[in-house]
Structure 1
Amino acid sequence: MFFVDTIEVAGLGNRSYLAGGQRTAVAVDPPRDIDRVIAAAARRGVRISHVVETHVHNDYVTGGLALARITGAAYLVPAAARVSYERVPVHDGDRREVDTTAGLTLRALATPGHTPHHTSYALEENGTAVAVFTGGSLLIGTVGRPDLVEPRLTEELARAQHASAHRLADELPDDTAVLPTHGFGSFCSSGQAQGESTTIGKEKTSNEALTRDVDGFVAALLAVLDDVPAYYAHMSPANAAGPAPVDLSPPTVADAEEIAARLAAGEWVVDLRNRVAFAEGHVAGSFNFEAEGQLATYLAWLIPWGKPVTLLAESPEQLAAAQRELVRVGIDRPAAAATGEPSDWARRGEALASFPRATFADLAKHHKDGVVVLDVRRDAERAASGHVEGSVHLPVHLLHRRLHEVPRGQVWVHCAGGMRAAIAASLLDAAGRDVVAVDDGFDSAEKAGLPIRRH
């Protein structure tokens, strides 16, 4: 008998896995906060004998090296990946015994496409594949992006994705479970996962990599590639160099005077509370990145790399969860932190800042009053769904560097659902602009009577 436990890394849209038998197990693409993987192994009562990477990751800092060192496990990394640490180089066709009592073996399958060295691993029980860990190769209804390594390689890697998907489909039984790392919200995926689970047989009937000819597939894939988060540029080098262990101990506590001093120094002070609470009252100059949103993705995307960040949280638990999220993308230690409420974080006599929230129906009433409508969705979203006629377009990940391009006047800022609009509103508010955050779904805009222009 074998087991496969899924370790969700929801904030980054990824999954890691622990798979094995009664005594030993393998960890696949582990997150940097490896205590979750160790706890999963303890619950199963197994020893982690192998840690494997499907590729050198572009979207998060791996915990693989630290996990292998702590557990004494063999660290399997594709042989063609250029890394600076000792590991077991994996070649196509290599086999490793995972649990002899359960007859479990791991077989490496070269599946280039997401990266040139990408490798999938088939978990075999007594010689028959029962699951395949596909990393950023064959995902649920889609494939991993081929454009994250080098622009000149994008089309070549897209064609390799097609060939790799067909290799998996041809070599593995239809009932083999497909267990990808990406596809659940990660920008490493070329599309959102179509469901929560799948098999090789299901993908044969639904995945365009397996239902379209290579030219049609490549053309369609290249047409849907979206923006790449800026922090991705730092992830692969960190993973190739060998990430250090994490420190999740509580940060230094900042009082109101220190928070003010850090703001005055141009550092980032990030309020983790939900956007409703932030709009109602916050420390002037602070930015709002909701802890419950895609905190790691958007904060790491927007903040100048290496700039000190102070976190403001409503509770120690919220702060600890945020720290865990951020170490996964290389923001290792907050400069300082505070918990409580805004009145605790502002100096005595200092007024809290606030701004109104609204719906698209509210915007419709003011649309002809000369207000500025700012759309902070990505280019692909705006092209696909249309836009409010006359709106200014600045994706949220570019806004902090281009605030000067927002026209004068009251700014009504929106995205597709409200979270990114709240981030943008906080940036504008901190810059002293008169802002209204539209906290509403974009599908309500046309229903509210706003003129929508489509290309």
Structure 2
Amino acid sequence: MDVVVIETTPLGDRSYLVHDGAVGLVIDPQRDTDRIEAAARSAGVAITHVAETHIHNDYVSGGLVLAGKHAARYLVNTADAVAFEREPVRDGQVFRVGRLSVRVLATPGHTHTHLAYVVEETDGPDAGRRAVFSGGSLLYGSVGRTDLVSASDTAGLAREQYASVRRLAEVAGPDAELYPTHGFGSFCSTGPASRQHASTIAEQLASNHALTDPDEGHFVAGLLAAVSAYPSYYAHMRPLNEAGPGPASLAVPDNVDPGELRRRLEAGEWVVDLRNRVAFAASHLLGSASFEYGSGSSFTSYLGWVLPWQQPLTLVGSLSDVERAVRDLARIGIDSPDAAVGEDSGALAPGVPLVGYPRTDWEGFLRDRAAGDTLLDVRRADEFAASHVSGAVNVPVHEVLARLPELPEVRTWVHCNSGYRAGIAASLLHREGHDVVLIDARFRDAPGTVSG
């Protein structure tokens, strides 16, 4: 048995190809299935089965398209109300993928109909080796969040999560390798999730609070206390996945005509500049917004969270950034955005003024802040409650657009935890005519922090 990991770092998720050298099973495929197909070609295996652990809330699945393309069996919980043909599976069912035996295990908690798959090699030198594909159930260090279905279901699902992961650990056994879908920065995880890259059931039995806490009530209370905000685009993912998503369109579109780009900017349409926040603050097209694209950034999550859903969108940036951004956005159902590709923003829309705003650090804030200025903290409310600069006003970045009328039209110093979210918020405020200064610095270096 070989397990190939396909990382989707911007969303903090993983897909998997598990195979016996000839045929393979794909678990929780992302919408851009070409990466999985490349992994199968490299391994020299045929994709015969595709399985979902749950109907996903944080991305659009590629399962239906992948299974159809390869004439593979598409395994989805029989209890899930989907609008497409699939092979319904349920708790306790066992099927074969070549030399691999796959057991379906009901693990409600992250969702009501969540499944895990326990895969075992049945013969050969590795006979008896087990791997558990746990989706949003048992994660490295924690579990999947239980508040994505509804507020009224959250506590009940948390109790089910506690029972499910314990059953999963018992059925799989301590020697089983653990392969979760979430937990690598995904907003679908909660609690003290670990950043480790591999683990076993034995390791989790020794360290995961869901398995070490003997008091279900204490565990549930802690899980509910750790719940925080999650991206608003999640509301659209489950319906898309239940309807049956089509293939992703990953082609970079033809450049928007300069005159048309100017019209869009002047009309207030969403024109997103992908350059880093330093370059954007120094000079950008009037009316554009900054969503920095970069390795390891949360570009996808924050663009889908902050901007109004499915409004016309134009990307501005280098060819490589636009190409990757188109792929990332397709994963959350934002299809075929327009683009203006080029390194020189001014040349993309001649006649549109280039503008900018100051960028500084905490020393600059202390030196230059004047009486009456506002310090705006755009971190989440739970981050602000844990610690914040005395006198700061908290408006999380995903609430900035809706709460613009609340913000006084005075000089506003904008900060977050690292500078990334502050760069987004500063650009949105500046776009609306506010006098802003971007504090591009770590919160840990902030002066005069208080708790509560």
Category of TM-score, reference length = shorter chain: over 0.9
The DSSP-based 3-state class of the residue aligned with 2:75 is: strand
The DSSP-based 3-state class of the residue aligned with 1:59 is: coil
AA in 2 matched with 1:4: V
Report whether the alignment pairs 1:278 with 2:274: no
Structure 1 residue 264: Cα displacement: 2.6
Partners of 2:101 and 2:217 lie apart in 1 by 36
Kept in 2: contact 1:269–1:311 (CA 8 A) = yes
CA deviation vs aligned residue, 1:173-211 (integer Å, no higher than 9, x gap) = 212111000011111111433411111001111111111
Report whether the alignment pairs 1:408 with 2:409: yes
Q: In structure 2, what is the equivalent of residue 323 of structure 1?
A: 326
Structure 1 residue 336: Cα displacement: 3.8
Q: In structure 2, what is the equivalent of residue 244 of structure 1?
A: 246
Q: Which is further off, 414-423 or 358-367? A: 358-367
Kept in 2: contact 1:32–1:61 (CA 8 A) = yes
Report whether the alignment pairs 1:294 with 2:293: no
Q: In structure 1, what is the equivalent of residue 40 of structure 2?
A: 41
Q: In structure 1, what is the equivalent of residue 172 of structure 2?
A: 172
Q: Once the two structures are aligned, what percentage of the paired residues are identical?
A: 48
Q: In structure 2, what is the equivalent of residue 122 of structure 1?
A: 118
Q: In structure 2, what is the equivalent of residue 308 of structure 1?
A: 312
AA in 2 matched with 1:432: G
- Residue among 93, 109, 131 paired with 1:113: 109
Q: Which is further off, 257-266 or 89-98? A: 257-266
Kept in 2: contact 1:74–1:88 (CA 8 A) = yes
What is the number of equivalent residue pairs in this alignment?
A: 444
Specify every segment of 5 or more residues in structure 1 that has no aligned partner in the other structure, as ranges.
none
Q: In structure 2, what is the equivalent of residue 343 of structure 1?
A: 346
Partners of 1:72 and 1:22 lie apart in 2 by 19
Taking only aligned residues, the RMSD between alpha carbons, in angstroms, comes to: 1.2
The DSSP-based 3-state class of the residue aligned with 1:158 is: helix
AA in 1 matched with 2:415: H
Partners of 1:265 and 1:21 lie apart in 2 by 56
Partners of 1:394 and 1:74 lie apart in 2 by 47
Structure 1 residue 368: Cα displacement: 5.2
Structure 1 residue 364: Cα displacement: 1.6
Q: Classify 1:35/1:412 alpha carbon distance in 2 versus 1 (closer, same or farther; 3 Å).
A: same
AA in 1 matched with 2:201: I
Report whether the alignment pairs 1:75 with 2:78: no
AA in 2 matched with 1:29: D
- Residue among 316, 333, 336 paired with 1:333: 336
CA deviation vs aligned residue, 1:266-312 (integer Å, no higher than 9, x gap) = 32000011111111111011011111121110001111111010000
Structure 1 residue 256: Cα displacement: 2.5
Partners of 2:334 and 2:150 lie apart in 1 by 24
Taking the TM superposition and a 5 Å limit, the aligned residue runs for 1:254-269 are 254-269=256-271
Specify every segment of 5 or more residues in structure 2 that has no aligned partner in the other structure, as ranges.
none
AA in 1 matched with 2:267: A
AA in 2 matched with 1:306: Q
Structure 1 residue 414: Cα displacement: 0.2
- Residue among 381, 384, 405 paired with 1:382: 384
Q: In structure 2, what is the equivalent of residue 153 of structure 1?
A: 153
The DSSP-based 3-state class of the residue aligned with 1:128 is: coil
Kept in 1: contact 2:24–2:46 (CA 8 A) = yes
Partners of 1:281 and 1:64 lie apart in 2 by 42
Partners of 2:205 and 2:171 lie apart in 1 by 12
Q: In structure 2, what is the equivalent of residue 4 of structure 1?
A: 3
AA in 1 matched with 2:443: F
AA in 2 matched with 1:222: L
The DSSP-based 3-state class of the residue aligned with 1:330 is: coil
Structure 1 residue 255: Cα displacement: 2.9
AA in 2 matched with 1:48: I
Partners of 1:409 and 1:150 lie apart in 2 by 39
Q: Please give the TM-score of this superposition, normalised by the length of structure 2.
A: 0.96
Q: Which is further off, 231-240 or 171-180? A: 171-180
Q: Which is further off, 425-434 or 125-134? A: 125-134
Q: Classify 1:290/1:260 alpha carbon distance in 2 versus 1 (closer, same or farther; 3 Å).
A: same
Partners of 2:267 and 2:195 lie apart in 1 by 46
AA in 1 matched with 2:244: G
Report whether the alignment pairs 1:452 with 2:435: no
Kept in 1: contact 2:256–2:338 (CA 8 A) = no
AA in 2 matched with 1:429: H
Partners of 1:368 and 1:217 lie apart in 2 by 47
Kept in 1: contact 2:281–2:357 (CA 8 A) = yes
